[in-house]
Structure 1
């Protein structure tokens, strides 16, 4: 088997085993990843910063006894610091270049991973399609006319294209799970406090954002979490400690679980037949695994809940724009995209008291959700309401573009205080992804499972949300469903090696 074929076919654990056993060398593996990155780059456009020379140098000196020695890796161009590497955050604002590594970067390096690039993100992670004025459109390796999702769409594209077997990602409103659902990958949104964001930030978006990865296999996701989880001295809080190793949880039979399935849209918007089919497939796989599944409703996860989530994000964006302006020494309003400006201005018109009340309402709903679903080991629900969209499908057009332009040019953002207008903006922003924000608010872990391929040949994943701090049950369930379904052998057809 060629090195390129092994890179395209095997997961991170499988590749590390080849390096450890001397069947291939770390420099050979990294060179193959760089070659494939360049070969697929025109097709998927998923790289923000190539790190090729640093990767080659690191591969030459890697300790091949490290758990993931020599495995090519990508780090998202958002929310994490890598010493000496510009971070653009998907924006035309001048890049930030750190003189330090984030704790997570250090843990990735200690695991033996070799970063070969930073992966593209929409501007500040605000869209669930990875398209930006700064970097253009990132495309889906399964069909390059379609999106790879967002905001970790660059990470997903690189993994699905066979460039790297696993990649760093982050999730503030579905940004790990949506790309996983679009590209046929495993995407674990970790429990709040499971991994640190320090020292770059203490928390992001009022604690909504978590970091982990997009991976080809459940076992890769589990092992990487073993190698990176746990607070550091600057962490403001920590998730409940696991009972054992996450890798061990992924390797064991889950036993007979009690599962629920939630089908409704919190926004009351249409859901495609393909999404319902994907959810039915997940339910069938769970029942084949010996689990009970019952239908539930969550009536309090509604439009008011989602509107409060949107207000929270807008407030965070407003603060972020202030910090970016202070960093570069001038207003960045002219550098950022129109939609980002509008969101930031919405955040500026909300008082501190309003945002405090919004957060308390969200926390109260989260407590109710956690309490009422505690009887279930996991709750199955959709991630995306439609199959992966065509690139550009969420760009505002016609009347929507006119309204957004007027809100921006005439500084009419205060009109968004009117609930119907805010609701209209919310629907345009979230009509593709109704559900993922629920777990960002509640802090619960949730794992994207690639259970379905549409009639058009595009992946369409669903998610299983777990109890607070219980990634172990999710990983055990996901590994069983992976085995039953056979999805582990699926690969995007883009430039498949001979």
Structure 2
């Protein structure tokens, strides 16, 4: 069997075992990953910066005793830095090249991982499809006419295509979970404060952004979290320490859990029959695992909640654009995409008082959510309202494009103060995915589970959201569902070695 075939078949834990036994070398595995990265690159377009020479050099010297020694890895081109590697953030703004590593980068290297590339993202992670003017369209290895989701779409494409078994990802409004749902992967949005974003930033999007990974298996998700979690001295938040290792949690029987399922749409928008079928599949799996399931509603998580979230993100984008302008010494308005520019102008238009009041309303809703669902070990709910969309499906067209152009060129962003117009823009932006921002606001962990494949052969995952700081229960439940379903053996059909 070729090394590329082994890479394509195995998860990171299995590959590390082969390296520890001496059956395969880090150099061989890295070369196979680079070969596959280049072979699939024209098809999926998931690489922002190739790091091949550095990867080859590291593979020759990495300590084979490290837990993930020699495992090929990708780092997202957003919100994290690796010394000497340009970070574009999916944008045409001049890249930032740091002379230091993020804490998470140091932890990845200390685990033995070998970064072979940075992965694509939409501009500043703002779209839930990985398509940008700077890097083009990232495509789904299950069907290259369809999206990988976003914003960690490049990471998901590389893992789903068998280029790397795990990849760094981040999530501010679903950006780990949406790509996982689109590409048949496991994706854990961690609790707020579980892993640090320092020293690049203390927090991002008012504490709503977290980092972790997209993986092929639950055990990989758990192992990587064991190797990277915990605050550093610069961290503003710290999640509740786990009772044991996350790996042990994923390996044990969860016992009988009390679960809930939420089928509604916070936006009141249509949900496809395939999404509901995926949710039914998840419910059937947990019932087979011996757990109780109760249907619930979340009436206080509605359009006003999502609108406050959207305005908060707009304010964060406005601030980020100011920071970028200061960094490059000029306005970056002409560098960014139209949608980013309009969103940033909306953020500039909002007063500090409006933003603060919105954040407080979000926190109030989150406290209620946590209090009223604490009786449940996890709540199942959708991630995406429809199967993975065709590439370009969320580009504004016709009247929508005209409105966005008018808002941009005539500087008519103040019109977004009109609630119906703002609501229309919000629906156009979020009709594909209604739910993930809930846990970004509440700080709860939530794991994407690849429970379903449509008749058209496209993955469609759902999520299980847990209590704050309780990734252990989620990992234990997810591992049980993985064992029952056998989803870990599924592979995208792209270029099977």
TM-score by length of 2: 1.00
CA-to-aligned-CA distance 1:92-138 (integer Å, 9 cap, x gap): 00000000000000000000000000000000000000000000000
Partner of 2:78: 78
Q: Secondary structure at the match of 1:211?
A: strand
CA-to-aligned-CA distance 1:184-234 (integer Å, 9 cap, x gap): 000000000000000000000000100000000000000000000000000
Hey, what's the Cα distance between the residues in 1 that align with 2:28 and 2:81?
27
> Superposition pairs for residues 482-497 of structure 1, below 5 Å?
482-497=482-497
Q: Secondary structure at the match of 2:116?
A: strand
Partner of 1:205: 205
Hey, what's the Cα distance between the residues in 1 that align with 2:325 and 2:154?
26
Residue ranges of structure 1 left out of the alignment (5+ in a row): none
Partner of 2:217: 217
TM-score by length of 1: 1.00
Hey, what's the Cα distance between the residues in 1 that align with 2:253 and 2:435?
28
Hey, what's the Cα distance between the residues in 2 that align with 1:73 and 1:273?
35
Partner of 2:24: 24
Q: Secondary structure at the match of 1:145?
A: strand
Partner of 2:290: 290
Partner of 1:320: 320
Residue ranges of structure 2 left out of the alignment (5+ in a row): none
Hey, what's the Cα distance between the residues in 2 that align with 1:221 and 1:333?
38
Supply the RMSD in Å over aligned alpha carbons.
0.3
Hey, what's the Cα distance between the residues in 2 that align with 1:257 and 1:215?
24
Moved over 4 A (4+): none
Hey, what's the Cα distance between the residues in 1 that align with 2:85 and 2:160?
24
Q: Secondary structure at the match of 1:461?
A: strand
Q: Is 1:167 matched up with 2:161?
A: no
Hey, what's the Cα distance between the residues in 2 that align with 1:407 and 1:116?
41
Partner of 1:275: 275
Hey, what's the Cα distance between the residues in 1 that align with 2:349 and 2:442?
25
In the TM superposition, residue 237 of structure 1 has moved relative to its aligned partner by 1.3
Partner of 2:87: 87
In the TM superposition, residue 2 of structure 1 has moved relative to its aligned partner by 1.4
Q: Is 1:120 matched up with 2:95?
A: no
Partner of 2:424: 424
Partner of 2:391: 391
Q: Secondary structure at the match of 1:4?
A: helix
CA-to-aligned-CA distance 1:2-58 (integer Å, 9 cap, x gap): 111110000001011111111011000000000000000000000000000000000
Partner of 1:43: 43
Hey, what's the Cα distance between the residues in 2 that align with 1:421 and 1:82?
41
Partner of 1:438: 438
Partner of 1:408: 408
Partner of 2:465: 465
Q: Secondary structure at the match of 1:422?
A: helix
> Superposition pairs for residues 140-179 of structure 1, below 5 Å?
140-179=140-179
Q: Secondary structure at the match of 1:451?
A: strand
Q: Is 1:138 matched up with 2:160?
A: no
Q: Secondary structure at the match of 2:211?
A: strand
Q: Secondary structure at the match of 1:80?
A: coil
Partner of 1:261: 261
Q: Is 1:229 matched up with 2:229?
A: yes
Partner of 1:448: 448
